Amino acid sequence: MTEKVFWINPYQTELRSEVTHIEGNNVELNNTIFYAEAGGQESDRGTINDVSVLQATSSGTRITYTLASPPDFKVGDTVVTCIDWERRYSLMKLHFAAEVVLEKLYQHCSGIVRIGAHIAQDKSRIDVEWPENLTTLLKEVETEAQLLIDSDARIISDFSDKENERRYWEVEGFTQVPCCGTHLNRTSEVGQIRLKRKNLGKGKERVEITLCT
């Protein structure tokens, strides 16, 4: 099992780790700050001993890192891992913003179903099954989501089932959401958001979330 330091401290950008497995350009560590793509959130980027990490892949409780070139270290060595903080922080903001927007859609649209989601560095999106055009509603959803963000509420993130690595985030008085992503400490860190609607075809709507910089 890989110890996931990104859950303990998602703001940590550098870590010393022990190499536990190497196969070609693929490396495993005893602990890590690199988030592997899951739940729609893209992988972190960064380096292991100054070698670029191309992809992080999770399998059960293990995470494998694919390097840009063969490693010059061996199993048992200590290596330094560094993540691209600007990318990580954007992913954290857009992930939380997307989930707040989705919760607001649930509140307004009884029976709405999420059919997809993706969180990238520049924007996040939510795909839903809904028979109506969401354009008119989105302004209200954006306003309500922004009010929650601006409230500077604490975001609690913890295990619901530690053995099976199931986690959640919660804002007291708002909601609790199962989620294994990396989360902010406070809602206000998101900043200003903008929502945009796209039509995916009959009965399907997409909401894109961006940050105002």
CATH of the domain at 174: 3.30.980.10
Where in 108-191 does DSSP place strands (E)?
113-119, 124-129, 156-161, 166-171, 175-178
Instruction: Report the relative pairing of strands 46-48 and 62-67 from DSSP bridges.
Output: unpaired
77 plus 91 within the same structural domain:
no
Q: In terms of residue numbers, what domain contains 153? A: 87-211
List, for residues 149-174, the tens digit of each pLDDT value.
999 999 999 999 888 888 999 999 99
72 plus 9 within the same structural domain:
yes
129 plus 191 within the same structural domain:
yes
Domain boundary among 20, 53, 83: 83
Count: domains in the chain? 2
* pLDDT above 80: residue 1: no
Domain boundary among 58, 83, 108: 83
100 plus 196 within the same structural domain:
yes
pLDDT given at position 202: 85
64 plus 131 within the same structural domain:
no
95 plus 69 within the same structural domain:
no
Q: Which CATH number belongs to the domain containing residue 8 in this structure?
A: 2.40.30.130
pTM of the model: 0.93
Pair of tokens at residue 53: 């990490």
Quick one: which of 186, 46, 194 has its CA closest to 123? Answer: 194
What secondary structure letter does DSSP report for 190?
A: G
> From the CB of residue 43, how many other CB atoms can be counted at a distance below 10 Å?
22
List, for residues 107-118, the tens digit of each pLDDT value.
999 999 999 999
pLDDT given at position 199: 85
Domain boundary among 60, 83, 106: 83
> From the CB of residue 73, how many other CB atoms can be counted at a distance below 10 Å?
14
